[in-house]
Amino acid sequence: MSIRKSWDILNDWITRKSLGSEVEIGYGLLQHSALEDGGACFEACIELPSSVTKSETNELKRLRLQGGAYFRRRHNGPVSSMLSELRSMHAELGDGGHVKIDLGRPIVTVILDVRQLRYGDEVRSNLLIPARGCDKFQNSRRAA
């Protein structure tokens, strides 16, 4: 699903449930392949407010954020520029030394101004690309 469509669907649900004032942080989960194909593999997510009932949560797909290390970059700007910023960040990190991009975990965007997301302008966010130690580095640590 496209990034914009995914956020539109989630925002419509938030509006129908009158949760706009309770939702503070949004998360976007993006597969690495989406950086090449324009964001076709994207999930918009929120931290569920405590007022949401069990039957309401059943209307949504539930995901858990995977733990681990991440490369982080703060992004201040329009939503439309986030994908190009992630592409740039991904390319810069692709040739890193002892730490590599973890292709087994999704890229995470943490939207700090989720209420501004509807407008698409000047949204503060953290762009997180999952990291892992390279095999050579990990093996040498185990040998000690």
Q: Where are the alpha helices (DSSP H) in 17-133?
A: 34-37, 54-57, 82-93
Amino acid at 122: E
- Residues ≥6 apart with Cβ < 8 Å to 135: none
What's the pTM? 0.78
Predicted pLDDT of residue 137: 46
Question: Tokens 């309770």 map to which residue?
Answer: 22
Strands 99-101 and 26-30: unpaired
Predicted pLDDT of residue 40: 62
At the fourth CATH level, which superfamily is domain 3-143?
A: Regulatory factor, effector binding domain (3.20.80.10)
Q: Hey, where are the domains in the chain? A: 3-143
Which of the four pLDDT bands, split at 50, 70 and 90, describes residue 72? very high
- Could you give the 3-state DSSP secondary structure of residue 30? strand
Predicted pLDDT of residue 113: 76
What backbone phi and psi angles, to 5 degrees, belong to 80? -60, -20
Report the distance separating Cα 98 and Cα 112, nearest Å.
30
Predicted pLDDT of residue 143: 42
